[in-house]
Structure 1
Amino acid sequence: MSIWTDRHVTVVVSGGIASYKALTVMRLLMKQGAQVRVVLTANAAKFVTPLTFQTLTQQPVVTDEFTLTDPTHVVHVALADWTDVMVMVPATANLIAKVAQGLADDVATTTILATTAPKYVIPAMNSHMWANPATQRNLAQLTADGIHLMTPATGLLAEGYAGQGRLPEPTEIVAWLTNQVIDAATDLPLHGKKVLVTAGGTREMLDPVRYISNRSSGKMGYAMAQVAREMGATVTLVSAQTALPRPQGIQYIQVTSAAEMLKQVEQAFAQTDILVMAAAVSDYRPAQVVTQKIKKQAAEPGLTLHLTETTDILKKLATQKQNQYVIGFAAETQNLLANAEKKLAAKKLDLLVANDVSKPGVGFNGDTNQVTLLSPYATPVTTAVLPKLAIAKAVFKTALEHGIASKN
């Protein structure tokens, strides 16, 4: 389930060249399970027709206070009472001014004034209008009234020059809205928890151009971070280099080596409620890093590398552990359960997520995984082959069943 599942969202569209982007915002919310209804100002209807919004939402579009689809209800009050979340996108300088002053002279502003649900404003206007002191006073008033504002983007405007005031892209808007709604939802299972996640394969340098690493894509760790955030946690992601986009709403820390990852994890561990150690940390590093590129030696074919063990991050943290719930990962190619049970005990883990990466569709680089969940509190459970997001949800579900809250 998404944070948007069955949530009632009213989208208020005011008249600007960016009005068409509201269609995509609306569609993205609907894809995540939201029920969407639309209010158009008279000027917005000149940019995008009500029929377009009605066709996509399959709901009547409100454009006139005096159009009575149901004579037993007052239009703006009925819609306001239905609303869980109100989004004004794009919000023009005119709409912002009206809302700041509490005006109610059309169906959009009367609905806004009657709505007690959280309100989110995504402004779009010319850069000079945005910088005008009157607009800034109105924005300050909205903030003082508890209305949430998204900062407009800087870029090419309709007038042909660049400046601040451009409507952010719909994906950015929905990501911002999602994080705002998650922060406000106190009933989510990980609300108030601080989750620290590691991801990706660390790199240990041999020389300025070569390194030792592994096949980890980081996808499982990123899935764990995303699900933790969706469940209400404040999430920090310590990531080795990957090709994945940085997740929204999550503190992101980039590292390269096992030593750098250890440093970041140690610094955050004391303030962490749940540690998810999903990174594939290098077990060995070169005993000495060469400062210049290693060249082939014709007279001496072959190359001998002298390696030394890296610090075992989980093992070291076990000595610092107080009330933290610690989840480890184990990628194995043989004797899965035997090796996993040893790691579970040796590193004092609360939960171990083990997988056999020699199997097809499991582990490195793919979008699916199959894991066995081991803990001191229950018998091992093996999942089906599932998308990594589904695996992440199963991991946190198991952790919650074990009583994460009771450990913090």
Structure 2
Amino acid sequence: MPLQGKKIVVAVTGSIAAYKAAHLTRLLVKEGAEVQIIMSTSALDFITPLTLSTLSKRPVYHRFHHSETGEWTNHVELGLWADLFLIAPISASTLAKIATGNSDNLLTATYLSARCPVMVAPAMDLDMYQHPSVQQNLRTIEGYGNIILAAESGELASGLSGQGRMMEPEHIVQHLKSYFQDTDIKKSFSGKTALVTAGPTQEAIDPVRYIGNHSSGKMGLAIALELAEKGAKVELILGPVSLALPTHPNIHITKVISAHQMYEAAAKLHQNTDLSVFAAAVADYAPAHPAKDKIKKAAEDFSISLKKNIDIAAKLGEVKKSHQVHIGFALETSNENQNALSKLERKNFDLVILNSMNDQGAGFKHDTNKVTIFHKDGKIHRTELMSKTDIAKEIVKSIEKIFSTEGQ
């Protein structure tokens, strides 16, 4: 029984689907899990703490303190106790709070204290679920490493029919069982240290202007999160991005701006890593003489002398040790396969991931991607257009194969 002895916090928010929390709790207890219920104040309007306390065989918490005794409910202790934090259902309101770090109630404060994996099961009406702000918040918390149990389709409380129903308790339990069954696989990088570069670099022209590119950093962050989920200690060297930063305990972030700063940070960490993923879009050139003051508009023509930046992946490829694995990216617009294979050889990569700017929905800024993975042994793996989270899983699977082959 994969859930036997697992400590699961079930957080219930103010949604009509809160009634399903009773059935969910019963199923989890039947599977041998220890279940601790936390409720938001608005959830009390839909289901009573007495019901959930009876089924979980534990007291239900919904306040920071007990009004009778003044005793504090230790949200930090609750967050550290759990093997899994499950918010089911999660309303649009609570979703917005955890996306922005709002901790105005016990449930959200416990969420912010949790060091375990977090799953959320949205439940709301059709138009609410499809609203851009809700979808953006789901993407935001997924970027934090949270797992989304997508809403199911069917008849809704409003009378409409469509996606918005909380995933049925039986389906949620199956997801949890599969998650814990896969724990050993998920920890396949346990004991390994990974270096991941991500995002763009900015090369100063003067104090207010720079040369840059359109990289959002989404692909690199997705890979860092996937490696962390599988047990790796991840050193993430991150260029200037506007994304929500991952809070996974296995990820340490070093922020940089320029290519030179990224190289210095990478070179310092590289010798102690087992794996390096060069996902950053590093500027090839930088102004040779950045101005100390803002350049004023005067002449009709203006030119900037550029100097070539150090090639981080190639330079570290020269000092790569036999046990180290290097992964590179190639964003191409023409002669794509040829250019990618050239990088594989020149930069001493074990595999290179080709992005084509000619593929609709792939490349910079998109939430989706489509790649071709070229292996050093000649194998080629092409993906369909998928979310960058799913692309990261495919890439990490390919990396796993390299390490498993070396271990034979």
When residues 275 and 7 of structure 1 are mapped into structure 2, their CA distance, relative to the original with a 3 A threshold, is: farther
Q: Counterpart amino acid of 2:382?
A: T
- Does the residue aligned with 1:352 lie in a helix, a strand or coil? strand
SS at match of 2:403: coil
> Structure 2-normalised TM-score?
0.64
Paired residues of 2:22 and 2:55 also in contact (CA < 8 A):
no
Percent identity between the aligned chains?
Answer: 30
In 2 relative to 1, CA 326–87 (structure 1 residues): closer, same or farther, beyond 3 Å? farther
Letter in 1 for 2:318: T
Greater C-alpha radius of gyration: 1
Q: Where does structure 1 lack aligned partners over 5 or more consecutive residues?
A: 14-20, 28-50, 63-77, 92-105, 113-120, 151-162
In structure 2, distance between residues paired with 1:126 and 1:377: 61
Answer yes or no: is 1:388 the counterpart of 2:378: no
What are the residue-to-residue correspondences of 1:49-88 with 2, within 5 Å?
Answer: 53-54=18-19, 56-57=20-21, 59=23, 82-84=31-33, 86-87=35-36
Of 12, 24, 48, the residue aligned with 1:22 is 12
Residue identity opposite 1:59 in structure 2: H
How far does the alpha carbon of each residue in 1:151-189 deviate from its partner, in whole angstroms, 9 at most, with x for none? Answer: xxxxxxxxxxxx999543576467744489999945422
In 1, are the aligned partners of 2:189 and 2:231 still within 8 Å (CA)?
A: yes
Assess, with a 3 A threshold, how the Cα gap between structure 1 residues 383 and 60 changes in structure 2: closer, same or farther. Answer: closer
CA deviation map 1:360-389 (0-9, x unaligned): 212011112121111212332322222211
* CA–CA separation in structure 2 for the residues paired with 1:396 and 1:354: 15
Match of 2:87 in 1: none
Deviation string 1:130-166 (CA, Å, 9 cap, x unpaired) is 998x989xx99x99xx94699xxxxxxxxxxxx9995
Distance in structure 2 (CA, Å) of the matches to 1:122 and 1:302: 68
Partner Cα separation in structure 1 for residue 82 and residue 25 of structure 2: 24
How far is 1:190 from its partner? 2.2
* Matched residue type, 2:32: T
Give 2:23's aligned amino acid: Q
Which stretch of the first structure deviates more once superposed, 312-321 or 174-183?
A: 174-183
Name the counterpart of 2:353.
353
CA distance in 1, matches of 2:55, 2:253: 39
CA distance 1:175–1:342, change in 2 (3 Å): same
| Corresponding residue SS for 1:168 | helix
Match for residue 191 of structure 2? 192
Q: Give 1:390 deviation, angstroms.
A: 1.6
What SS does the aligned partner of 1:279 have?
coil
Aligned to 1:406: 406
Aligned residue-pair number: 317
Is 1:290 the equivalent of 2:291?
A: yes
Question: Do structure 1's residue 321 and structure 2's residue 320 form an aligned pair?
Answer: yes
In 2: Cα distance, 1:255 partner to 1:129 partner: 51
Q: Which residue of 1 aligns with 2:121?
A: none
Tell me which residue corresponds to 1:17. none
- How far did residue 354 of structure 1 move? 1.0
Aligned partner of 1:342 in structure 2 is 342
Equivalent positions of 1:74-153 (< 5 A) are 82-84=31-33, 86-87=35-36, 89=38, 125-126=64-65, 147=81
Partner of 1:255: 256
Does structure 1 conserve the Cα–Cα contact (< 8 Å) formed by 2:12 and 2:39? yes
Aligned residue identity for 1:391:
I
Aligned to 1:42: none
2:64·2:73 contact (CA, 8 Å) conserved in 1? no
Counterparts of residues 4-43 of structure 1 (less than 5 Å)? 22-23=12-13
1:362 counterpart residue number: 362
How many angstroms apart in 2 are the aligned matches of 1:231 and 1:295? 51
Relative to structure 1, the CA distance from residue 127 to residue 333 in structure 2 (aligned partners, 3 Å threshold; closer, same or farther) is: farther
Give the 3 Å change call, closer, same or farther, for CA 382–295 of structure 1 in structure 2. Answer: same
Report deviation, 1:359. 3.2
Q: Secondary structure at the match of 1:265?
A: helix
1:237–1:355 distance in 2 versus 1, CA, 3 Å: same
Distance 1:292 1:377, change over 3 A: same
Contact 2:217–2:280 (8 Å) recurs in 1: yes
Runs of at least 5 residues in structure 2 that lack an aligned partner in the other structure: 41-52, 85-102, 119-144, 147-175
Pair 1:266 & 2:285 matched: no
Q: What is the CA distance between 1:109 and its match in structure 2?
A: 8.5
Give yes or no for contact 1:212–1:285 (8 Å, CA) kept in 2: yes
Q: Confirm or deny that 1:204 pairs with 2:203.
A: yes
Provide closer, same or farther for how the CA distance between residues 216 and 135 of structure 1 changes in structure 2, counting only shifts above 3 A: closer
Q: Which amino acid aligns with 2:379?
A: T
Q: Secondary structure at the match of 2:23?
A: coil
Asked whether the equivalents of residues 127 and 164 of structure 1 are also in contact (C-alpha less than 8 Å), the reply is: no
Aligned to 1:225: 224
Please tell me whether the aligned partners of residues 12 and 37 of structure 2 are also in contact (alpha carbons under 8 angstroms).
no
For 1:149 and 1:381, the matched residues in 2 are separated by: 35
Question: 3-state SS of the aligned residue for 1:378?
Answer: coil
Alpha-carbon distance in structure 1 between the residues aligned to 2:267 and 2:221 = 20
Q: Is the 8 A contact 1:10 1:83 kept in 2?
A: no
Cα shift readout 1:49-76 (whole Å, capped 9, x = no counterpart): xx9644x2471766xxxxxxxxxxxxxx
Q: 1:197 and 1:319 mapped to 2: Cα distance? A: 18
1:89 partner amino acid = I
Q: Which residue of 2 aligns with 1:154?
A: none
Q: Secondary structure at the match of 1:59?
A: helix
